[in-house]
A and B are shown apart, each in its own frame.
Chain A
Amino acid sequence: MKIGIKEVVAMGIGTALFVVLTNVQIPVFVVPNTAIQPRMAILAFLAAVFGPIVGAVVGFAGHALGDAFFYGSVWWSWVVPEAVVGIAIGFFAKKFAVKEGGFASGKNLIIFNVVQVVANAVAWIVVAPVLDILIYAEPSDKVFSQGAIAFILNIIAIGILGSLLLVAYSRIAGSSSGLKAEE
């Protein structure tokens, strides 16, 4: 797969967006110290528009830089799964055709959400906990519980925020014909 200039810029500006939104969070009161992260929706959006490489880089670099800038450390075990989500959604970019108005209909919305749930499951219930165990020898109960919470929050973030962004963008960017001025 060749990387064009537009993809390079999308990786760069996408990463900037992801980093800037790192500390924008929507707290959920049911579980303390957990929040829905709008930046996940941005990642899903960019992957759906620009494909897997952009998804991978924005997820990986965005998470690593965001961690580094805001928390002074990098949790590699949570950086890698972020890239997994970006890659998985990115594989369907051609099919989604967001810029051509592909989300104006419901079919792609369903595919997108199926993909994101599967991708998040692999990322947060498999990849992240396994890395946590490998690197930190953390107890499996703990990391799988953590992974499950992250999974739920991220499918909500992408499922609601991501879908809303994609539908809105598709409707704005897509062509509009047959409009008539009304009296």
Chain B
Amino acid sequence: MDGRIDPIIDFENVSFKYRAQQEPTLKDINLKIYPGEKILIAGQSGSGKSTLAHCLNALIPCSFTGDMSGTLRVDGQEPSKLGVFGMSKIVGTVLQDTDGQFIALTVAEDIAFALENENTPQKDMYEKVDSVASKLELTDLLGNAPGELSGGQKQRVSLGGVLACNVKVLLFDEPLANLDPATGKRTIVLIDELLKKEDLTVIIIEHRLEDVLHKDVDRVVLMDGGRIIADKTPDELLCSNLLIENGIREPLYIAALKAAGAKITPDTKPQHIETMNVEPYKETVQKWYHHMPVHRGVNTGETLLSVEGLNFSYDGKKQILSDVSFNIKRGEMVALVGKNGAGKSTLASLICGFNKPDKGVIRLEGNDISSLSIKERGERIGYVMQSPNQMISKPMIMEEVGLGLAVRGVPHSEVEYRAKEILKICGLYPFRNWPVSALSFGQKKRVSIASILIMNPDILILDEPTAGQDYMHYTEIMEFLVNIRKTLPVTIVMITHDMHLMLEYTDRTLVLTDGKLLMDAAPSEVLTDQEVCDRAYLKRTSLYDLALKCGIDDPSEFAARFIDHDRKNRVAKIDE
């Protein structure tokens, strides 16, 4: 950066301690961001990255009180003096929860929301909304209600809402958390285009590094324990081991290169696999590939659940599922993927009996279950909702876990015995007499899973088990499930958007698109098939590109071998 330009954001020795906490959450932050830059702030939960963001829009110290020291200037002003309202005209924040940020009844009104608050005359609002909408390709949707929009569209509306105020800085708080991979990619492209056309500075807070790096980023600021521990260009950062040491997932192709023993250097431009120069590493990767054991599929038992010719429609007009058939074998771990609205949740609701199929049969161990009630099915097919808060209805852990048995009239002593057993398996036994409120999100998630497992179901269906979780918590939840599968005879089906999850943890992937089953194959095959990925809004794994670039003719096998290797390493690490 040119030293003569003043930074638009300037942290000087900034520290912040929340009132209720002992330790400061931000420690001595020094950071300069210049106009026109695109900065990625990465770090695991609790690293202080969200606190840093809240300093920029003045939620800290105006809404979340605490002690702040040092100076922060944004566009020459001090946020703590301007307040949240004043800062909203300089820094536009796009929140992670698109449903929470979409406040008004229609797209047009939501874009105009901040203008309305400014008491802007109606005529000016019409003009502004039209111009913002055309920039974001929302013109045809202006009259739509939020319920009629996809996640990606809602996010564009949120973006429109802040652009309408002519802000100078765009702050994205985990913009990819709730989107399917292809939509996330589009968001990153859109941000990039905006930055090129408008006079903006962009700050993205996200732990899904590989997805953000789809387009150029000027610098990555890596945080841990309230401090900035690296402020480097992506090319430099990817060559170090700082990411993995601080709980951030490396892009898969980088991880694979490192696993193969390649020493990556910044001059090969590792930021994007498409444009990276892999020549220096080609030989090493090939050698490693041929050296690794051939991937072998898991042996699984007899068919547990079979679905045949399922058809379903809510209104008799729009077909949500058409002719879906598949089998699930005992002991398998299966991913159910596809873009939002492809019918994944509907399929789960048919299996659980929340809705009745128009046509088709669902069999459990060969028996048709259509006559079983929701409650009866619940004893054999457990369903875990996305957020544990949507399931937990008792304040105490023991009560919550035992509830499913207690309402079925199981004697108290047996409920307690079985609850204790299941708490032991789930690693929650030491906390059995705690209130649920004292637990972390991951622990609550385990409580909600334990409260289903206590009924000894054959199958566990989990809706987005890791949505919104960083790498560490993702690993915690997934390893927990792997462990459960080892201890209990339970088969696991997961609805997910997370390509890493399906690649790293599942044996098989069912791909749904527009109500049809598009593919039923090993995850490494699905994620190396460009056509299927495009149609199902998935994102082809970068391992595929790496394999091809290195002259390996079977990218799917390459991906599978790398994942095998990686899994083995991770298990070894956990055992330590």
Contacts and interface: CB of A to CB of B under 8 A. Distances in A.
The short answer to whether A and B are in direct contact, CB under 8 Å, is yes
Interface of A: 167-168, 171-174, 176, 179, 181-183
Given A168-B394, A168-B395, A171-B395, A176 B430 contact: no
B430 A172 contact: no
Contacts of A168: 393-395
B437 A171 contact: yes
Contacts of B430: 181-183
Contacts of B431: 179, 181
Given A181-B431, A182-B430, A176 B437 contact: yes
Contacts of B435: 171-172, 176
A174 B437 CA distance: 8
Contacts of B429: 182
B438 A176 contact: yes
A179 B432 contact: no
Contact of B438 (A167, A179, A182, A183): A179
Contacts of B437: 171-174, 176
Chain B contact residues (Cβ within 8 angstroms of A): what range? 10 to 19
Interface in B400-452: 429-438
B433 A182 contact: yes
Nearest to B396: A171
B344 to A, nearest CB: 25
Given A168-B394, A168-B395, A172-B395, A182 B432 contact: yes
A174 B438 CA distance: 9
A169 to B, nearest CB: 8
Contacts, number: 28
Contacts of A167: 395
A119 B432 CA distance: 40
20 contacts: A167-B395, A168-B393, A168-B394, A168-B395, A171-B395, A171-B396, A172-B435, A172-B436, A172-B437, A173-B437, A174-B437, A176-B434, A176-B435, A176-B437, A176-B438, A179-B431, A181-B431, A182-B430, A182-B433, A183-B430
Interface string B367-394: 0000000000000000000000000011
A8 to B, nearest CB: 11
Interface of chain B: mostly helix, strand, loop or mixed: mixed
Contacts of B396: 171
A162 B6 CA distance: 57
Contacts of A179: 431, 434, 438
Nearest to B432: A182
B147 to A, nearest CB: 13
A173 B436 CA distance: 10
| Leading 3 A-B pairs by shortest Cβ distance | A181-B430, A171-B395, A172-B437
A167 B437 CA distance: 13
Nearest to B434: A179
A170 to B, nearest CB: 9
Given A167-B395, A172-B395, A182-B430, 11 more contacts: A168-B394, A171-B396, A171-B437, A172-B437, A174-B437, A176-B434, A176-B435, A179-B431, A179-B434, A182-B429, A183-B430
A183 B394 CA distance: 23
B18 to A, nearest CB: 14
A167 B438 CA distance: 16
A137 to B, nearest CB: 40
A181 B430 CA distance: 5
A167 B394 CA distance: 10
A181 B423 CA distance: 13
A63 B429 CA distance: 45
A45 B395 CA distance: 17
A106 to B, nearest CB: 15
A163 to B, nearest CB: 13
A95 B394 CA distance: 24
Contacts of B394: 168
A54 B395 CA distance: 26
Nearest to B394: A168
A29 to B, nearest CB: 21
A172 B400 CA distance: 12
Interface string B208-235: 0000000000000000000000000000
A171 B431 CA distance: 16
Nearest to A181: B430
Contacts of B393: 168
A49 to B, nearest CB: 16
A172 B437 CA distance: 5
B432 to A, nearest CB: 7
A1 B435 CA distance: 35
A9 B314 CA distance: 32
Nearest to B430: A181
B423 to A, nearest CB: 11
Nearest to B84: A5
Nearest to A172: B437
Contacts of B395: 167-168, 171-172
Nearest to A169: B395
A168 B394 CA distance: 7
Nearest to A183: B430
A182 B396 CA distance: 15
A168 B403 CA distance: 15
Contacts of A174: 437
Contacts of A173: 437
User: Which of the listed residues B393, B432, B434 has the most CB atoms from chain A within 10 Å of its own CB?
Assistant: B434
A172 B431 CA distance: 15
A168 B400 CA distance: 12
A179 B438 CA distance: 8
A174 B435 CA distance: 10
Contacts of B436: 172
A56 B395 CA distance: 29
A168 B435 CA distance: 10
A181 B428 CA distance: 9
A77 to B, nearest CB: 30
A96 B18 CA distance: 25
A120 to B, nearest CB: 26
A35 to B, nearest CB: 22
B227 to A, nearest CB: 28
